[in-house]
Amino acid sequence: MDPAGPINPAVMPSTFVPGVESPQDRSESALWFAFMGRELLLQTQGESVVLPTGSALPELTPVRTQFLGELDGRPCYSAELALEGKLPEGMKVEGLRRLYGVLSDEAFAIAGRAYQIIEWDRTHQYCGHCATPTTQQPHERTKRCPKCSLVFYPRLSPAVIMLIARGPALLLARAHRFPAGRYSILAGFVEPGESLEETVIREVREEVGIEIKDIRYFGSQPWPFPNSLMIGFTATYVSGEITPEPAEIADAAWFTKRNLPDIPSKASIARRMIDWFVSLDL
């Protein structure tokens, strides 16, 4: 493949080096992760799509751009596009959730990073304390108020997600916002002053009214919808009857691997945790 040509998201190289300082020249090999609202811009090539490169944004003047780093030496940029912009022929936009499995894992991860940085840049143009226009710092991903010196880092919201086991069964719940029939494991945001383990205990107690033990770290996943870091844990049921919190949980129950309901897509750590549990010899 010509290194200066379009790149097929399904076969992207896998070495990404984050960066803040952009090269002086934006080469034709540069990859663009450009968003119109929450949707990623793609070039169509027959039945497939590719990420725009170099000069592939001729009619779309970005509101703001940000350097992301390099993918196998190719500069990567994010771009915020005007919502009222008209798409050139041969281009389309698609929601990021729908692109899991269409984009490679590397492209999906960089696109998620791009979206979060775009949102941070867009919402921190002015100081939240004194309303002075902020300035991007040259050597790190921060904005600084030149008047009161307040510094703004990209927003990151830590959230725990937990798989609760009771012998061969796992606890799944339906939030009111889920599609009809969809169940998943419990999750919730970390509150100030809490450890992650304390958040797991509190969220389980609040959402379904049971007690747990043996809390163990499973893994994590950045989740750019809009700016979460999902931190996964497993735990074991101790006591209590499932009592769904009515404002958040429509239903909750124990399920075995043989009677699973509709569960989240493979894009999520929730699915990875459920698949792990199903693989166990229980």
Residues 161 and 205 placed together within one structural domain of the fold: yes
Residues 168 and 247 placed together within one structural domain of the fold: yes
Taking 70 as the threshold, does the pLDDT of residue 3 lie above it? no
Total structural domains within the chain:
2
At 124 the three-state DSSP class reads coil
Q: Is 115 annotated as a binding residue?
A: no
Sign of the torsion formed by the C-alpha atoms of 110, 9, 269 and 262? positive
Least confident of 78-92, 151-165, 171-185, 232-246: 78-92
Q: Is 270 annotated as a binding residue?
A: yes
Residues 203 and 118 placed together within one structural domain of the fold: no
pLDDT tens, residue by residue, 73-118: 889 999 999 888 778 888 899 999 889 888 888 889 999 999 999 9
Where is pLDDT greater, at 88 or 43?
Answer: 43
Mean pLDDT for the stretch of residues 194-205: 98
Structure tokens at 235: 């735990």
Please identify, among 104, 123, 142, the residue that sits at the C-terminal boundary of a domain. 123
Whether residue 128 is contained in a domain is answered as no
Residue carrying the six token digits 């002086």: 24
Q: Is 221 annotated as a binding residue?
A: yes
Residues 82 and 166 placed together within one structural domain of the fold: no
Residues 242 and 180 placed together within one structural domain of the fold: yes
Taking 70 as the threshold, does the pLDDT of residue 230 lie above it? yes
Whether residue 129 is contained in a domain is answered as no
Q: Is 223 annotated as a binding residue?
A: yes
Sign of the torsion formed by the C-alpha atoms of 241, 244, 246 and 250? negative
Q: Is 226 annotated as a binding residue?
A: yes
Task: Give CA 138 to chain center in angstroms.
Answer: 25
Whether residue 4 is contained in a domain is answered as no
Q: Is 145 annotated as a binding residue?
A: yes
Taking 60 as the threshold, does the pLDDT of residue 252 lie above it? yes
- Give the pLDDT confidence score for residue 13 in this predicted structure: 46
Q: Are strands 31-36 and 74-81 parallel, antiparallel or unpaired?
A: parallel
Mean pLDDT of the chain: 90
List of residues 6+ apart from 105 with CB closer than 8 A: none
Whether residue 98 is contained in a domain is answered as yes
CB atoms inside a 10 Å sphere around CB 122? 12
Phi then psi dihedrals of residue 6, to 5 deg: -60, 155
Please identify, among 65, 98, 123, the residue that sits at the C-terminal boundary of a domain. 123
Residues 162 and 112 placed together within one structural domain of the fold: no
Cβ atoms 66, 117 nearer than 8 A: yes
Please identify, among 80, 100, 123, the residue that sits at the C-terminal boundary of a domain. 123
Q: Is 64 annotated as a binding residue?
A: no
Among 21-25, 44-48, 77-81, 214-218, name the most confident range.
Answer: 214-218
Taking 60 as the threshold, does the pLDDT of residue 15 lie above it? yes
Taking 60 as the threshold, does the pLDDT of residue 146 lie above it? yes
Whether residue 130 is contained in a domain is answered as no
Whether residue 96 is contained in a domain is answered as yes
Residue-range definition of the domain harbouring residue 72: 9-123
Q: Is 187 annotated as a binding residue?
A: yes
Which domain CATH number covers 101? 3.90.79
Whether residue 149 is contained in a domain is answered as no
For residue 66, list its beta bridge partners. Answer: 78
Whether residue 228 is contained in a domain is answered as yes
Which domain CATH number covers 170? 3.90.79.10
- Rounded CA separation 222/215 (Å): 21
Mean pLDDT for the stretch of residues 24-42: 87
Residues 203 and 249 placed together within one structural domain of the fold: yes
Q: Is 159 annotated as a binding residue?
A: no
Residues 119 and 41 placed together within one structural domain of the fold: yes
Mean pLDDT for the stretch of residues 132-140: 95
Mean pLDDT for the stretch of residues 230-246: 98
Residues 75 and 172 placed together within one structural domain of the fold: no
Q: Is 148 annotated as a binding residue?
A: yes
Residues 117 and 162 placed together within one structural domain of the fold: no
- Give the pLDDT confidence score for residue 58 in this predicted structure: 60
Q: Is 76 annotated as a binding residue?
A: no
Q: Is 8 annotated as a binding residue?
A: no
Taking 60 as the threshold, does the pLDDT of residue 8 lie above it? no
Taking 80 as the threshold, does the pLDDT of residue 221 lie above it? yes
Residue carrying the six token digits 């034709």: 28
Q: Is 140 annotated as a binding residue?
A: yes
Residues 202 and 264 placed together within one structural domain of the fold: yes
- Give the pLDDT confidence score for residue 165 in this predicted structure: 98
Least confident of 36-45, 52-61, 96-105, 128-137: 52-61
- Give the pLDDT confidence score for residue 116 in this predicted structure: 96
Mean pLDDT for the stretch of residues 245-255: 97
Band of residue 220 on the pLDDT scale cut at 50, 70, 90:
very high
CA geometry: angle 218, 168, 189, nearest 5 deg: 35
CB burial of residue 144 (10 Å; 0-12, 13-18, 19+): middle
Q: Is 39 annotated as a binding residue?
A: no
Band of residue 7 on the pLDDT scale cut at 50, 70, 90:
very low
